[in-house]
Amino acid sequence: MPWMKRCSLTFWNATKGIISKERCDALRQHLLARYTEVYAPLKVMNFATAFLKYLAKTHFDTRYQAFDLFLEMPKGLKARKHVTSRIVTKADVENILAGIETAYQKNEIDEEQCLHYRAIMLFGAFTGQRPQATTARLTVGQFRTAVSQKKPVIDVLPEQDKIRYQHYCPFHPQVVDIVRPLLDCRRNDEPMFKQLLFERWLKQQKVPLLHVRHPFVPSDLRKFCEQMGDILQWEQSNKNYILTHGVSGVDWRFYKHPLPEHGHDVSMKYWKDTTLKCDLPGYNTLWGSLVGKSRRRTTTLGTLYEGDNGHHSRVFRALHRLIIFHFF
Eight-state DSSP code of residue 153 = E
Note whether 26 and 13 are within 8 A (CB). Answer: no
pLDDT at 76: 64
Angle at 149 between CA 159 and CA 278, to 5 degrees: 85
Residues of the chain with pLDDT > 70, as a percent, come to 82
Could you read off the pLDDT of 139-166 as tens digits, one per residue? 999 999 999 999 999 999 999 999 999 9
Domain ranges of the chain: 2-71, 90-271, 283-327
Structure confidence at residue 304 (pLDDT): 36
For residue 78, the model assigns a pLDDT of 61
Residue 208 DSSP SS3: strand
pLDDT of residue 319: 42
pLDDT of residue 6: 81
Q: Is the pLDDT of residue 305 over 80?
A: no
- Count CB neighbours of 123 within 10 A: 25
The DSSP-derived string for 2-20 is HHHHHHHHHHHHHHTT---
pLDDT, tens digit, for every residue of 166-202? 999 999 999 999 999 999 999 999 999 999 999 999 9
**Per-residue pLDDT band at 279 (split at 50, 70, 90):** low
Q: What is the pLDDT of residue 311?
A: 41
pLDDT score, position 14: 85
> In whole numbers, what is the pLDDT of the chain averaged over residues?
83
206 torsion bin: left (phi>0), alpha (psi -120 to 50), beta (else): left
Query: Is 52 in contact with 68 (CB distance < 8 Å)?
Result: yes
pLDDT digits (tens, 9 = 90+) for 97-133: 999 999 999 999 999 999 999 999 999 999 999 999 9
Q: What is the pLDDT of residue 85?
A: 83
Distance CA 221, CA 204 (A): 17
**What pLDDT, on a 0 to 100 scale, did the predictor assign at position 99?**
95
pLDDT band at 81 (very low <50, low <70, confident <90, very high): low
Residue 285 pLDDT > 50, yes or no?
Answer: no
Least confident of 82-91, 222-231, 317-326: 317-326
Residue of higher predicted confidence among 75 and 76: 75
Is 134 in contact with 191 (CB distance < 8 Å)? no
DSSP state letter for 149: S
Q: How confident is the model at residue 223 (pLDDT cuts 50, 70, 90)?
A: very high
Q: How many CB atoms lie within 10 A of CB 68?
A: 16
pLDDT score for 1: 58
Please give the pLDDT value at position 289.
47
Give the integer Cα–Cα distance in Å for 227 and 268.
16
pLDDT at 151: 96
Count CA within 13 A, CB hemisphere, residue 156.
25
Topology of domain 90-271 in CATH is hpI Integrase; Chain A (1.10.443)
Cα–Cα dist 243/240, whole Å = 5
Tell me which residue of 219, 243, 249 sits closest to 230, measured CA to CA: 243
The reported pTM is 0.66
Higher-pLDDT residue of 233, 36: 233
